[in-house]
C-alpha cells in the first residue's frame, strides 16, 4: 500500500463519519423544530363536527321525528359535543303539514318547513346538558325528543 492510497482511504473514512454525524444532527434538529411547533403553522386535524339528519313524519296519527343519518329510530336522542364542536342538523319535512323544529335552551330552530322542504342548521352547545326539541307549530307543548350535549375528554 502506498501513501496516496492510505491518504485516500482516510479521506473517505472522514467523509463518511462527517456525513453520518451531519445526518444525525439534522434528524435531531428536525424533531426539535416539529415538537416546538415551528414547522406547523396550521392545525393538522380536521375540525370535528356531528352531522345528523332527521325527518318529521306522522305515524298512526302521532307526530314523530325519524332518525335518518347519524341517529336511527323514532324520536331519537340526538348527541353532540360541547364547546367548539358544531352540530350540523338537517331537518326534512316528510309530513303533509308544515313543521318547525325548535331546540329549547340552545335557541336553535328551523324556518317553517312545508311538505318536502328541508333545512340544515348549525349550532353549538357551550356547556353539557340535555335539551328538549319541539315542533313549534304543534298544538301540543310536549317535547318530541331530546338532544344531549356531552364534553369529551382524552383518556390517559
Domain ranges of the chain: 1-44, 50-150
pLDDT digits (tens, 9 = 90+) for 66-88: 999 998 999 999 999 998 889 99
d(CA 120, CA 70): 14
pTM, rounded to two decimals: 0.69
d(CA 139, CA 101): 13
d(CA 65, CA 75): 5
For the chain, the average pLDDT equals 87
**Residue 17 pLDDT:** 85
Residue 20 pLDDT > 70, yes or no? yes
Residue 2 pLDDT > 70, yes or no? no
Fold of 50-150: Immunoglobulin-like (2.60.40)
The residue with greater pLDDT, 123 or 2, is 123
**Residue 38 pLDDT:** 57
Nearest CA-CA partner of 76 in 65, 87, 91, 63: 65
- Sorting pLDDT into bands at 50, 70 and 90, what band is 153? confident
pLDDT digits (tens, 9 = 90+) for 24-46: 898 888 777 776 655 555 555 66
Please say whether the beta carbons of 151 and 82 come within 8 A.
yes
Can you give the three-state secondary structure of 15-69, one letter per residue?
HHHHHHHHHHHHHHHHHHHHHCCCCCCCCCCCCCCEEEEEEEEEECCEEEEEEEE
The mean per-residue pLDDT over the stretch 86-109 comes to: 96
Amino acid at each position: 500500500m502506498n501513501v496516496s492510497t492510505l491518504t485516500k482511504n482516510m479521506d473517505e473514512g472522514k467523509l463518511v463519519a462527517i456525513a453520518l454525524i451531519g445526518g444525525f444532527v439534522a434528524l435531531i434538529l428536525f424533531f426539535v423544530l416539529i415538537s416546538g411547533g415551528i414547522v406547523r403553522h396550521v392545525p393538522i386535524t380536521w375540525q370535528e363536527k356531528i352531522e345528523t339528519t332527521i325527518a318529521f313524519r306522522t305515524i298512526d296519527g302521532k307526530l314523530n321525528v325519524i332518525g335518518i343519518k347519524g341517529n336511527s329510530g323514532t324520536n331519537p336522542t340526538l348527541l353532540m359535543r360541547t364547546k367548539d364542536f358544531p352540530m350540523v342538523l338537517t331537518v326534512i319535512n316528510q309530513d303533509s303539514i308544515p313543521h318547525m323544529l325548535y331546540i329549547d335552551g340552545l335557541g336553535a330552530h328551523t324556518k317553517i318547513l312545508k311538505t318536502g322542504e328541508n333545512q340544515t342548521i348549525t349550532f353549538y352547545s357551550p356547556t353539557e346538558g340535555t335539551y328538549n326539541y319541539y315542533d313549534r307549530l304543534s298544538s301540543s307543548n310536549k317535547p318530541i325528543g331530546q338532544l344531549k350535549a356531552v364534553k369529551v375528554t382524552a383518556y390517559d
